[in-house]
Structure 1
Amino acid sequence: MTLPLQGVKVVDLSTLLPGPMCTLLMAEAGAEVVKIERPKGGDEMRSYVPKRGPDSVNFGLLNRGKRSVALDLKTQAGRDAALALIEQADVLVEQFRPGVMDRLGLGYDVLAARNPRLVYCSITGYGQTGPKADVAAHDLNYLAESGMLALCAGSDGAPVLPPALIADIAGGTYPAMMNILFALRQREQTGQGCRLDISMADNLFTFMYWALGNGESGYGWPKPGGELVTGGTARYQIYRAADGRYLAAAPLEEKFWQNFTRIIGAPELATADGLDPAVKDRVAALIGSEPSDVWVERFADVDACTVRIVGLEEAVKDPHFVQRGLFDRKVRMPGGDVMTALPVPIADVFRAKDEVRDSPALGSSEARFERGG
């Protein structure tokens, strides 16, 4: 089977999460990815816990199917070896702070002169330019400064920690992958590569389209707990059942809301304003009067967009996800352990059929691409 990125050669100079997940997606779609790591310790993600054998499970999940080359980029020999790889590459992904690659002699101008077809993708927190370009930060900081974290409020009104690294993946990995594909397509037309400046903080604003719309329209800048998707309506809410478990209720459309109010035994609320706090209190009291099992049974086969909240351990055993094969693929760790590979948003038609692929041991590959790869 010919994969969509078969024949594409990628040099991965990134670490931790955003860049490695981006190159994982490319590897899963057939690209040959050579990961350049520090000789001592390699990618910091290797040291994270929990581990399976010598490496972190996180590293294994993010680096399935890649090759690892250990090079010291602070030495001339290391830079020369890296340059030899990059001269053959179609794509380079790096995640250093702005200016670091230039100081290493691996800046875009230098590399583009040697390989004009190179797609050079830089992933940073705040982008290559601007007052915050050199500021050290992590996912939580980008959420805080983009306005997103302020919209995530707990019952006491204080912001809560999101359970996902939204900026890293939604603001870094996915935009990087999308723009790399655009750049490769453009290169087919022009013969020229380009420089991509991916800012994780910039890309968070896309997810707040509704909040920006509220502010721009004069409707008012949104507040936590006060808007359609931040807890301001009974139609998009989390309710506690009598057994202490929770229901996620999202009957936004009228037909779903009518079904919902009928199932909870309050058809008189079908025409009520969901933004009325009294309506939320009434629904909460009704949901809280029965255990979650009862509600799961009553809402079964009813279009009301209401489900029980489950933990991850329960979710991965859900017959729906199991039947769809989300967890069929495996990754073999350097010590020989085999574990479930990370599900990724790539259609099966674009992925190799091999179910088990290796996570590379540090420096286990030669500093070259496979001939004809």
Structure 2
Amino acid sequence: MRPLEGVTVLDFSTLLPGPMATLLLAEAGAEVVKVERPGTGEEMRHYRPSWGRDSVNFALLNRGKKSLALDLKNAADRSVLDPLIARADVLVEQFRPGVMARLGLDYQTLSVSNPRLVYCSITGYGQTGPKRNVAGHDLNYIGDAGLLALSMGDPERPVVPPALIADIAGGAYPAVMNIMMALAQRQRTGRGCYLDIAMADNLFPFMYWAMGEGLGQGQWPGSGTGLVCGGTPRYRLYETADSKAVAAAPIEQKFWNEFCELIGLDHDLRDDTRDMQATTRRIVDIIRSKPAEHWRACFSGRDCCCTIVVSLKEAMDDPHFRARGLFDHMLENESGLCMPALPVPIAAAFRGSPDIPVAAPQLGGHNSELKI
């Protein structure tokens, strides 16, 4: 039995943060009922590329959920939710502040009939504060929180981060974490609660080191100047002769000593506190003199925290990740085609069998089951 079996989640969210959060709950056994607009469903169903009837992005994020197609502004459709709300354990929504209240679906209203309800709202800036109604996406949130400024690359060619940090690490993961704590608290008190998850708020823990330098020493890191942002030869990317990259992270002295020995760094440059720029320039020249495979072999089996940067496809083919079973669970579409499901940070013991492919729901595919 999975840990969240018997837990019912009503999911009013769209796109990434909420759907990712409820995917994690579904993978742990919760019954997740996705409430969508009739006719079109949520926006991500129509993203490209498609995979069968719907977007592959939608399929990856909504595996194992149920779909209920309702017009929330229609009284008859709205009444269908009443019995579901009465038995729901968790509700997740992602509208701007005030939208659910206008629909009569806010926490204050629903908690009267279901005081055990854990109600989670995910927004960019939270339910209060001057920015509460400001529209934004991940890039805006990481920019406003100061995270983007720590590593933007060359000003003439600024780098957009490859991961949606605010959506997932600032929204989806904190939502699940707080939902689980709320359910644990409910076991003791018998009452649910309201959770205000603000994606921008939850980015500050990622900058603990930068905040420590600024608050503790008055030295606020700039773009690429911090220890873990490329501001030292001990933590940065080095280009190889074949235009690949070495990810070098020999921060601790024992790793640094090994790294310097392996690449043959000049002895007078190994103390990088004397002339950091000179040390860095020399390492750049050394690494650039050989192809990636040379350095892969050089660093293999040695304790120096150095690896070769690989593509996503190469990573997914890595025997290590395969042995760990990251891609054993399968996603199925309406045509019977299968692909690996999205790996999730749920322990294998808490998930279903990887032997059974699981699909994302068709729009309104569970209307009959849910008594409509």
TM-score range (shorter-chain normalised) is over 0.9
Match for residue 217 of structure 2?
A: 218
Match for residue 357 of structure 1?
A: 358
1:354 deviates by: 4.3
CA distance in 2, matches of 1:188, 1:226: 47
Match for residue 69 of structure 2?
A: 70
C-alpha change, 1:275 and 1:48, in structure 2 (3 Å) is farther
CA distance in 2, matches of 1:362, 1:16: 15
Question: Residues 144-293 of structure 1 correspond to what in structure 2 (within 5 A)?
Answer: 144-156=143-155, 159-266=158-265, 268=267, 269-273=269-273, 276-293=276-293
Which amino acid in 2 is paired with 1:299? Answer: F
Match for residue 93 of structure 1?
A: 92
The SS at the match of 2:227 is coil
CA distance in 1, matches of 2:191, 2:201: 26
C-alpha change, 1:24 and 1:50, in structure 2 (3 Å) is same
Which string of whole-angstrom CA distances, capped at 9 and with x for unpartnered residues, describes residues 129-159 of structure 1? 1110001111111011111111122234664
Match for residue 339 of structure 1?
A: 339
Q: Name the stretch that deviates more: 153-162 or 166-175.
A: 153-162
The answer to whether the 8 A contact 1:82-1:367 is kept is: no
The answer to whether the 8 A contact 1:52-1:335 is kept is: no
Instruction: Give the length in aligned residue pairs.
Output: 369
TM-score, scaled to structure 2: 0.96
The answer to whether the 8 A contact 1:81-1:367 is kept is: no
Which string of whole-angstrom CA distances, capped at 9 and with x for unpartnered residues, describes residues 252-276 of structure 1? 0010000000000016144332871
CA distance in 2, matches of 1:234, 1:19: 39
Which amino acid in 2 is paired with 1:179? Answer: N
CA distance in 2, matches of 1:66, 1:38: 16
Q: Name the stretch that deviates more: 353-362 or 254-263.
A: 353-362
The SS at the match of 1:229 is helix
The SS at the match of 1:36 is strand
Match for residue 25 of structure 1?
A: 24
The answer to whether the 8 A contact 1:234-1:275 is kept is: no
* Unmatched 5+ stretches in structure 2: none
CA distance in 1, matches of 2:322, 2:354: 18
Q: Name the stretch that deviates more: 350-359 or 309-318.
A: 350-359
The answer to whether the 8 A contact 2:170-2:201 is kept is: yes
TM-score, scaled to structure 1: 0.96
CA distance in 2, matches of 1:334, 1:215: 53
The SS at the match of 1:126 is coil
CA distance in 2, matches of 1:12, 1:321: 31
CA distance in 2, matches of 1:232, 1:283: 14
Which amino acid in 2 is paired with 1:118? Answer: L
1:105 deviates by: 0.5
Which amino acid in 2 is paired with 1:214? Answer: E
Match for residue 4 of structure 1?
A: 3
C-alpha change, 1:189 and 1:267, in structure 2 (3 Å) is farther
Structure 1 position 143 matched with structure 2 position 142? yes
The SS at the match of 1:116 is coil
1:323 deviates by: 1.1
CA distance in 2, matches of 1:107, 1:336: 39
CA distance in 1, matches of 2:87, 2:275: 59
1:358 deviates by: 1.4
The SS at the match of 1:163 is coil
CA distance in 1, matches of 2:184, 2:229: 39
Which string of whole-angstrom CA distances, capped at 9 and with x for unpartnered residues, describes residues 49-81 of structure 1? 111111000000001111001000011112211
The answer to whether the 8 A contact 1:247-1:309 is kept is: yes
The answer to whether the 8 A contact 1:3-1:351 is kept is: yes
The answer to whether the 8 A contact 2:150-2:226 is kept is: no
CA distance in 1, matches of 2:334, 2:363: 9
Which amino acid in 2 is paired with 1:366? Answer: N
* Unmatched 5+ stretches in structure 1: none
The answer to whether the 8 A contact 2:68-2:364 is kept is: yes
CA distance in 1, matches of 2:234, 2:136: 36
Q: Which runs of 4+ in 1 moved over 6 A?
A: none
Match for residue 302 of structure 1?
A: 302
1:335 deviates by: 3.5
